Structure 1
Amino acid sequence: MEDRKLTDTLAVSPQIRPEDMPEIRRRGYRAIVCNRPDGEAADQPSFDAVAAAARAEGLDVHFMPVTSDGIDDAAARRFGALLADMPTPALAYCRSGTRSATLWARSAEATRPAGEVQARLRVAGYGGPRR
């Protein structure tokens, strides 16, 4: 598992698998957010399989699938609201982590200086949010 910390309360990751859940729990995560629609790739585990394994480890699980072109202000607000209401730290994932990072960046722009958002993305290995 390749988690990349954006804040003290959120990290993002490429696709995770059901067998990753014990390690995710060991690393201290308390919640998982899936930003990847089911069926994007043939080898992708279903959200239901990931969610069942996560719940077995005592993790909160949330499904907020988005496509790259579906990341707009409304999606960013939904993501921010979701993060505000879940136990932290949380791990959000998609195919590469980029959609999850972009959702966070778009939601964080409302409360953090743009330079800080961009710096956190760079440190985590992601570019800036796309508009």
Structure 2
Amino acid sequence: MDLRPLTPELSVSPQIRPEDLPALVADGFRVLINNRPDAEVGPDEDSVAMRAAAEAAGMDYREIPFVPGHVTPEMVEAQAEALALPGRKIAYCRSGNRSTVLWALSRAGTEPTADLLEAAAKAGYDLSGVRPLIDSLAARGR
């Protein structure tokens, strides 16, 4: 697994597999956030398989599929709600980038945009292209 911490409570990752979940729980993760649409994966990693594996491992599971280029206010709000759950969280998609974008958008207005971009960059994700959207959400109070 390629876990990339954004905060002490949240890491992002490329695709997680069901067999990865016991190790994540052993490392203290309690919430699994799936940002990958089912159309991008096979049945071994779709939302049904991941939900079952998360529940079997004792994790809280949230599914917020993010098709590239199609973010909605509802997705941002759902991500914010998932991030507010107790315990350490792991969010994943194909590369971790979309999970990072949703995290930054969900934090718009609560943290300076520059800090969000810096945390993303430290994790290996360049969010400069979504800076205008983060700033817009921050100005509107998300």
TM-score, normalised with respect to structure 1: 0.90
RMSD: 1.7
List structure 1 runs of 4+ shifted beyond 4 angstroms: none
Tell me how far apart the structure 2 counterparts of residues 19 and 112 of structure 1 sit (CA, whole Å): 35
1:41-80 equivalent positions in 2, closer than 5 A: 41-42=41-42, 45-80=45-80
Give the conservation status (yes or no) of the 8 Å contact 2:37–2:67: yes
Query: Deviations 1:56-94 (Å, cap 9, x if unpaired)?
Result: 11110111111121224442233112211x222110111
| 1:103 correspondence with 2:108 | no
Give the conservation status (yes or no) of the 8 Å contact 1:22–1:57: yes
Q: Any idea what SS the aligned residue of 2:19 has? A: helix
Shift of 1:40: 1.1
Give the conservation status (yes or no) of the 8 Å contact 1:35–1:94: yes
Q: Any idea what SS the aligned residue of 1:30 has? A: strand
Shift of 1:97: 0.5
Number of residue pairs matched by the alignment: 130
1:85-96 equivalent positions in 2, closer than 5 A: 86-96=85-95
Instruction: Using CA pairs under 8 Å that are at least 6 residues apart, name the structure with larger relative contact order, 1 or 2.
Output: 1
Q: Any idea what SS the aligned residue of 1:51 has? A: helix
Give the conservation status (yes or no) of the 8 Å contact 1:55–1:61: yes
Structure 2 unmatched ranges of 5 or more: 134-142
Structure 1 unmatched ranges of 5 or more: none
Q: Any idea what SS the aligned residue of 1:126 has? A: coil
Tell me how far apart the structure 1 counterparts of residues 82 and 22 of structure 2 sit (CA, whole Å): 23
Tell me how far apart the structure 2 counterparts of residues 70 and 52 of structure 1 sit (CA, whole Å): 27
Tell me how far apart the structure 2 counterparts of residues 127 and 79 of structure 1 sit (CA, whole Å): 19
**Identity within the alignment, %:** 38
Shift of 1:44: 6.2
Tell me how far apart the structure 1 counterparts of residues 44 and 97 of structure 2 sit (CA, whole Å): 16
Give the conservation status (yes or no) of the 8 Å contact 2:12–2:90: yes
Partner amino acid, structure 2, of 1:76: V
Query: Deviations 1:81-127 (Å, cap 9, x if unpaired)?
Result: 2211x222110111111000000011112200111101100111101
Residue number in structure 2 paired with 1:18: 18
